[in-house]
Amino acid sequence: YCLVCSGLSERVPHKGMAQFQEMMRQQLESSMDAELEKLVDTVTGADRDVCMKDFKGFKNLFHRFLQVKGPSVEWIKIKRPPEDSIQPYDKIAARGLPDGVATSLNKLVVVKLNGGLGTSMGCKGPKSLISVRNENTFLDLTVQQIEHLNKTYNTDVPLVLMNSFNTDEDTKKILQKYTHHRVKIHTFNQSRYPRIHKESLLPVAANLSMTGQNADGWYPPGHGDIYASFYNSGLLDKLIAQGKEYIFVSNIDNLGATVDLHILHHLVSQPNGKRCEFVMEVTDKTRADVKGGTLIQYEGKLRLLEIAQVPKAHVDEFKSVSKFKIFNTNNLWISLPAIKRLQEQNAMDLEIIVNPKTLDGGLNVVQLETAVGAAIKCFDNAMGINVPRSRFLPVKTTSDLLLVMSNLYSLEAGSLTMSPKREFPTTPHVKLGSSFTKVQEYLTRFESIPDMLELDHLTVSGDVTFGKNVSLKGTVIIIANHGDRIDIPAGSMLENKIVSGNLRILDH
């Protein structure tokens, strides 16, 4: 509506501008409702019911999107969170664990956000099915971790996967392989929302089909959709009926997001009247994390501030490591009864993330999304826990993949832990160039993963390959000029080296 109104604002008397804008908003909502009705009419039965639930959520988001005027925060109102609202992990862990850890574990459900595809790493299908370590996928490692917990403590911690329409079918096929593991696995689908034309603000899709050009008309609306879709699926009520009290939610590609017994004990041991309903794990910012969301105090509530909400004049201030020292890892512990209460009261007021996209045909569209952590302000006694960096180990790129495949980490019962042989607790900074972007190409460039125990920084650019048993130490920069190739020979040891130009070692 902004595009429509701005074009006419000069021709409408100022006094009547508010009424005119309200009229335009109502007209757009009415047009959207009519288009959504047409889409619903193209299906019948259970599909129609699911579609109507999805569209109810979308209509609410669209209505709020049309009401938004300017940034969702006033910079002057932002305050540092109170000291006791973000606890250091060491303080939580110092309380120790009771003998009855199993009792706490039996109140827990592990939820993994599994809606993403592996396209950014050149893979087809769900990202969770990419092999990351010893032929184990993200999903394999998750199942191993929970099975280990259940066997060790004789508990019944279930795994719940929030799939999207992109990942649901492939994920369900693979779940059969875990039939005999000691983990109950449930799935539910997040909503399917219509992409909208940037100019007309009407749906792109002509019908509900997911084939051909029409497939581009739909998107999963971000992980903030977990609350509504979990509730709508019926699984939330089912788990509460089984005595479950908390979910531990994290991205499936964060290999550091394992169940932490100290945080769980802290949650379940609080007195009922003061029980914490929401914990966000945060960790200290480095220069690599300047865009990460942070916790602030806003109008008396703990709140997540994302870079998309920051007025342009204050973006540099937001990125400051000294002013905003922590960022959200998206590892969250949330009360199940509280989710149910807030959903039934329609009290989940999540900031809208407007995500502009250009489709393959060149059409400019808008996606309306929300973030799961933004709900922190809706829950009672919410808090942050400043956890060690080891609990944030996401694999977004092949540069991240190289770290987790290397001897920096050892793998035990599905969990990765930093090798005690590494003298520094921080991970090396790795930047692999465009020749390494796709997983298949990346794998062909390493005969074996180099020894990286003493590595601080690695930059690789151009056509570069690594032989077996290469060792990298300190700062190593390898740049093959355009048209040149560099082969690092088997058994090489590079320490604080810059290699550039053309280097090929041929066996005779």
In tens digits, what is the pLDDT along the chain, a chain of 508 residues? 344 444 444 444 555 777 888 888 899 999 999 999 999 888 777 778 888 888 999 999 999 999 876 667 888 899 888 888 999 999 999 999 988 899 999 999 999 999 999 988 999 999 999 999 999 999 999 999 999 999 999 999 999 999 999 999 999 999 999 999 999 999 999 999 999 999 999 999 888 887 777 788 999 998 999 999 999 999 999 999 999 999 999 999 999 999 999 999 999 988 777 889 999 999 998 877 888 899 999 988 899 998 888 888 888 888 887 778 899 999 999 999 999 999 999 998 898 988 899 988 889 999 999 999 999 999 999 999 999 999 999 999 999 999 999 999 999 999 999 999 998 878 899 999 999 999 999 999 999 999 999 999 999 999 999 999 999 999 999 999 888 999 999 999 999 999 987 765 544 3
Give me the pLDDT at residue 113, please: 97
Fold of 75-391: Spore Coat Polysaccharide Biosynthesis Protein SpsA; Chain A (3.90.550)
Residue recorded with tokens 């047009």? 31
Q: How many CA atoms lie within 13 A of 119 on its CB side?
A: 5
Give me the pLDDT at residue 504, please: 59
Give me the pLDDT at residue 322, please: 77
| Burial bucket for residue 466 (CB in 10 Å: 0-12, 13-18, 19+) | buried
On whether the CB atoms of residues 101 and 321 are closer than 8 A, the answer is no
Exposure letters 208-245 (e unless 16+ CB within 10 A, then b)? beeeeeeebbbbbbbbbbbbbbbbbbebbeebeeeebb
Residue recorded with tokens 């190739």? 485
Q: Could you give the CA distance from residue 20 to residue 3 in angstroms, rounded to a whole number? A: 14
On whether the CB atoms of residues 340 and 231 are closer than 8 A, the answer is yes
Q: Could you give the CA distance from residue 117 to residue 124 in angstroms, rounded to a whole number? A: 7
| Burial bucket for residue 67 (CB in 10 Å: 0-12, 13-18, 19+) | exposed
Residue 77 bears catalytic tag: no
15 Cβ contact partners less than 8 Å away, ≥ 6 residues apart:
none
- Check whether 362 is labelled as a binding-site residue: no
On whether the CB atoms of residues 128 and 137 are closer than 8 A, the answer is yes
**Nearest Cα to Cα of residue 175 among 149, 210, 148, 137:** 137
Tokens (6 digits) for 169: 């079918």
Measured torsion, CA atoms of residues 279, 283, 289, 290, in degrees rounded to the nearest 10: 80
Q: Where are the CATH 3.90.550.10 domain residues in the chain?
A: 75-391
Q: How many C-beta atoms lie closer than 10 Å to residue 390's C-beta?
A: 17
The secondary structure of residue 194, as a DSSP letter, is E
Instruction: Identify the CATH number of the domain defined by range 398-500.
Output: 2.160.10.10
3-state DSSP assignment of residue 454: strand
Q: Could you give the CA distance from residue 65 to residue 368 in angstroms, rounded to a whole number? A: 8
Exposure letters 246-268 (e unless 16+ CB within 10 A, then b)? bbbbbbbbbbbbbbbbbbbbbbb
On whether the CB atoms of residues 187 and 163 are closer than 8 A, the answer is yes
DSSP bridge pairs for 367:
355
Residue recorded with tokens 């003061």? 274
CA 454 vs. chain centroid, Å, equals: 30
- Check whether 223 is labelled as a binding-site residue: yes
**Which residue out of 184, 325, 340, 396 is catalytically annotated?**
396
**Nearest Cα to Cα of residue 402 among 476, 500, 309, 299:** 476
The whole model's pTM is what?
0.91
Q: Where are the CATH 2.160.10.10 domain residues in the chain?
A: 398-500
**Nearest Cα to Cα of residue 175 among 212, 139, 133, 137:** 139
- Check whether 253 is labelled as a binding-site residue: yes
- Check whether 262 is labelled as a binding-site residue: no
Q: Could you give the CA distance from residue 93 to residue 154 in angstroms, rounded to a whole number? A: 22
Q: Could you give the CA distance from residue 261 to residue 102 in angstroms, rounded to a whole number? A: 10
Give me the pLDDT at residue 21, please: 81
Tokens (6 digits) for 188: 């539910």
Q: Could you give the CA distance from residue 404 to residue 187 in angstroms, rounded to a whole number? A: 27
Q: Could you give the CA distance from residue 26 to residue 23 in angstroms, rounded to a whole number? A: 5
- Check whether 197 is labelled as a binding-site residue: no
- Check whether 33 is labelled as a binding-site residue: no
Give me the pLDDT at residue 90, please: 97
Give me the pLDDT at residue 209, please: 80
Q: Rg of the chain's alpha carbons, rounded to an integer? A: 25
Measured torsion, CA atoms of residues 310, 315, 320, 323, in degrees rounded to the nearest 10: -40
